[in-house]
Amino acid sequence: MYLIRRQPHTQQENGPSERDAKVCELRAALGPLSGRSLQYCTDSCLRRYLEARNWNVDKAKKMLEETIKWRATFKPEEIRWHEVAHEGVTGKISRANFHDRSGRTVLIMRPGMQTTKCTEDNVRYMVYLLENGILNLADGQEQMSWLLDFTGWSLSTNIPIKTSRDCINVLQNHYPQRLAIAFLYNPPRIFEAFWKHLDMCIAEPVTTPSLQVVRYFLDPVTFNKVKFAYPKKKESSELMQSYFDIENLPSEFGGKASLEYDHEEFSRWMVEDDERTAKFWGSDEKSRHIADDI
């Protein structure tokens, strides 16, 4: 399979009033909404879909309608920690207990900690953490920062191709404009070399399943949000510190903080958030599970 970086869109010069008009136009085009679909489709949500489709109302409408259908079937807001906790035992994806310098939620990903092969379970776990990260965004924040630690990564811990594809599909189609910055820390050098080839719009054969994730980043805007960083590299350290407080940043990423994933502690944290999720979505549900039972 060959991947070719798409050419940049021609961005429309829309001022605030024009964009507000586009939001109103999109809302009218969607027609009457109710329940969770109405709750999901806030003005900021509509803006994200419009931005993802270069402020083309028809394209944004199609994309958003697909998401509404997906959410009605997948029900991401109903996933609870006790259903996906087994996927988090190694800490392959977790939410950090700190924010970046802009106050954004930080998700930590450890590709080398991948241990399970079930595509459905992997996708549900990723979606759970995305929803949890969104729930914990500060007021006025729409995006998250990702830190990917490639320590211990090898072909044996590689994510299966089907799992990668399904995760990418969910990310690019149902969570548009949610990524602020993604740092790939200490990845194999071939990753950055491949990335540079894409940046020059050169077709490259993809033989490593993990590189399937680049499909999500092929949009030029998102492409530029991906940064490579390496231990003991001055430029990497300076770049990381421009986004994160060195005192909060884990030592695994060149910071001074100590971070050791504790599944039991993280489970208690997630169970507490499950109650917040239920409240946010208007459910009277209370978590029937405590972290000690997981």
**Per CATH, which fold does 84-262 belong to?**
Phosphatidylinositol Transfer Protein Sec14p (3.40.525)
Task: Tell me the mean pLDDT in the region 43-52.
Answer: 96
Task: Tell me the mean pLDDT in the region 84-108.
Answer: 94
Instruction: State the pLDDT at residue 39.
Output: 95
Other beta carbons within 10 angstroms of residue 155's beta carbon come to: 8
Residue 281's identity, in one-letter code, is: W
Instruction: State the pLDDT at residue 23.
Output: 97
Q: HSE, CB side, 13 Å, CA atoms: give it for residue 245.
A: 11
pLDDT digits (tens, 9 = 90+) for 113-130: 887 888 899 999 999 999
Instruction: State the pLDDT at residue 225.
Output: 86
d(CA 247, CA 149): 18
Of residues 217 and 194, the one with the higher pLDDT is: 194
Most confident of 145-159, 178-192, 214-228, 230-244: 230-244
Task: Tell me the mean pLDDT in the region 90-102.
Answer: 93
Task: Tell me the mean pLDDT in the region 95-122.
Answer: 90
15-74 against 84-262: fold identical? no
Model confidence at 55, pLDDT cuts 50, 70, 90, reads: very high
Calculated CA dihedral for residues 111, 112, 117, 123, nearest 10 degrees:
-20
| End-to-end C-alpha distance for the chain, whole angstroms | 41
Judged against a pLDDT cut of 80, whether residue 61 lies above it is answered with yes
| Candidate from 35-44, 75-84, 210-219, 235-244 with smallest mean pLDDT | 210-219
Instruction: State the pLDDT at residue 206.
Output: 46
The strand pair at 93-99 and 105-109 is best described as antiparallel
d(CA 135, CA 57): 27
Give the start-to-end residue ranges of the domains of the chain: 15-74, 84-262
Of residues 78 and 189, the one with the higher pLDDT is: 78
15-74 has which CATH code? 1.10.8
Model confidence at 196, pLDDT cuts 50, 70, 90, reads: low
Predicted structure pTM score: 0.82
Query: Which value, in Å, is the radius of gyration of the alpha carbons in the chain?
Result: 19
pLDDT digits (tens, 9 = 90+) for 3-41: 444 444 444 456 889 999 999 999 999 999 999 999 999
Query: 166-198: buried (b, 16+ CB within 10 Å) or exposed (e) per residue?
Result: bbbebbbebbbbbbbbbbbbbbeeebeebbeeb
Judged against a pLDDT cut of 70, whether residue 192 lies above it is answered with no
pLDDT digits (tens, 9 = 90+) for 138-164: 888 999 999 998 887 765 556 667 777
230 within 8 A of 185, measured Cβ to Cβ: yes
